[in-house]
Structure 1
Amino acid sequence: MAERQLHLKLDTAALDAARKHLSEGAVTPAYGPWRDDIVQLLNDALATELVCTLRYRRHHFMADGLESPRIAEEFLVHANAELAHADRLAQRIVQLGGDPDFNPASLQDRSHADYDEVTDLKAMIKANLVAERVAVESYRQMIALIGDKDSTTRRLLEDILADEEEHADELSDWMERA
C-alpha cells in the first residue's frame, strides 16, 4: 500500500485578498468576522487593567501597618505592570482597526475586576488577590475563545496571563504573612 504524502500549501485566494485594502495595515480578510468581537474582548480587558491600576495605586498610598512599606512598594510595582498591560492592549486594539475605550464613565461597568476603598492592609491584599484571580480566569477564557482566530492577540494575552499569575502568587504569599 502506497503511503500518501500530504503537502502544506498556502491559500492563494487569501494571499490575493491580502493585496487589497492596504489602508487596513496588518489586518487582512482572514481576520474575518471575529475582529469586532476580539476588539470588544480587548476593550473589556483594557478596562480591567485600568481599574486594577487605579486600585493598586490607591492601595500603594493607603497602605499602613508593620509590613506596609514593603507591601506598598509591591502595590506600586503591580500598578505599573497593570498600566503596561493596558498600553499593550490599547496598542493591539488600534492594530486591529478598533478604538481603545478609555472612557472613565464606563470603566467600572466594563471591568472584570472591582475597585474598592478598603483601608485595612490585609483587606487590600485580599482585594488585589481576588482581582488577580479574576484576571487570570478572564484571560484564560479569552485565550480559549480566540484560539487560532488571531494568533498575535492570543500570544499577547498569554504573555499578560503569565504576569497576572505571578502577581496572584506574590499576593498569596503576602496573605500568608499578613
Structure 2
Amino acid sequence: MTQATLTDTSTLRAQARKHVEDGAVTAGYAADREMVLKLLNEALATELVCVLRYRRHHFMARGINSKSIADEFLVHSNEEQGHADQLAERIVQLGGEPDFSPDTLTSRSHAEYVPGASLADMIRENLVAERVAIDSYRELIQYLDKADPTTGKLIKEILAVEEQHADELADFLVDVPA
C-alpha cells in the first residue's frame, strides 16, 4: 500500500503566502481550473433553465391532479435555484464569474426548455431534464475525480437531489393520463 507523503509545516506556510490573492485555489489544486469553470457555468445554466421550466409548469398545470403536482413543481424549482446558487458560489471560490446571461442561457444548458402542452407533457419534460442532469453530473463527478474533491462533493450532493426529483416525477407519470 502506497502512503501519501505529507508536506512539512514550514513548506505549507510558505506555499500559502504565495499567490494569496487566489483565495481557495492553492498550488495543490490539481484540476484544469478553466475547464472546471466552464463546466460549472454549463451546470449553472442547466439549473437556471430548470428553475424557469418548473416555474412555468407550476403556474400552467391544469387538470384533476394538477394542484399537488404544481406544488411539487414549485418545490423542485426552489431546489434547482438553490443548486444554481451553490454552483455560482463555487465558481466565485475558484476565481471565476458565474454566467447568468439570459442571452446564452439555453445554448449553455444541457437541459432544454420545453413548455409542455398538458400536465403529462410537463411531467415528462421535467423528467427528461432531470435525467439529462443526472448523466451530466455523473460525468462531471468522474471528470473531477480526485483533482477537485470540493467541487466533486458539491456535485454529488446536487446529483442526489436530481435523482430524487426524477423518482418523484416518474411516480407522477403513473398517476396522470397521457
TM-score category (smaller protein):
over 0.9
Number of residue pairs aligned between Structure 1 and Structure 2 = 174
Match of 2:147 among 143, 146, 149: 149
Stretch moving more, 8-17 or 134-143: 8-17
Question: TM-score, normalized by length of structure 2?
Answer: 0.93
Match of 2:43 in 1: 45
Match of 2:32 in 1: 34
* 1:117 is the counterpart of 2:115: yes
TM alignment of 1:37-116, pairs within 5 A: 37-116=35-114
How far apart, CA to CA, are the structure 2 residues paired with 1:130 and 1:7? 44
SS in 2 for 1:30: coil
Q: Is the 8 A contact 1:62 1:119 kept in 2?
A: no
The verdict on how the C-alpha distance between 1:72 and 1:6 changes in structure 2, with shifts beyond 3 A counting, is: closer
Stretch moving more, 25-34 or 92-101: 25-34
Structure 2 residue runs without a partner (length 5+): none
The verdict on how the C-alpha distance between 1:169 and 1:29 changes in structure 2, with shifts beyond 3 A counting, is: same
The verdict on how the C-alpha distance between 1:6 and 1:69 changes in structure 2, with shifts beyond 3 A counting, is: closer
Q: Is the 8 A contact 2:31 2:147 kept in 1?
A: no
How far apart, CA to CA, are the structure 2 residues paired with 1:150 and 1:20? 20
Counterpart of 1:9, as a letter, is T
Cα shift at 1:27:
0.7
Residue deviations 1:114-133 (CA, integer Å, cap 9, x gap): 00122200000000000000
Counterpart of 1:29, as a letter, is A
How far apart, CA to CA, are the structure 1 residues paired with 2:87 and 2:81? 10
Structure 1 residue runs without a partner (length 5+): none
Cα shift at 1:17:
2.7
Cα shift at 1:58:
0.2
Stretch moving more, 122-131 or 19-28: 19-28
Match of 1:25 in 2: 23
How far apart, CA to CA, are the structure 1 residues paired with 2:132 and 2:2? 43
How far apart, CA to CA, are the structure 2 residues paired with 1:84 and 1:72? 19
Question: TM-score, normalized by length of structure 1?
Answer: 0.93
Cα shift at 1:30:
2.0
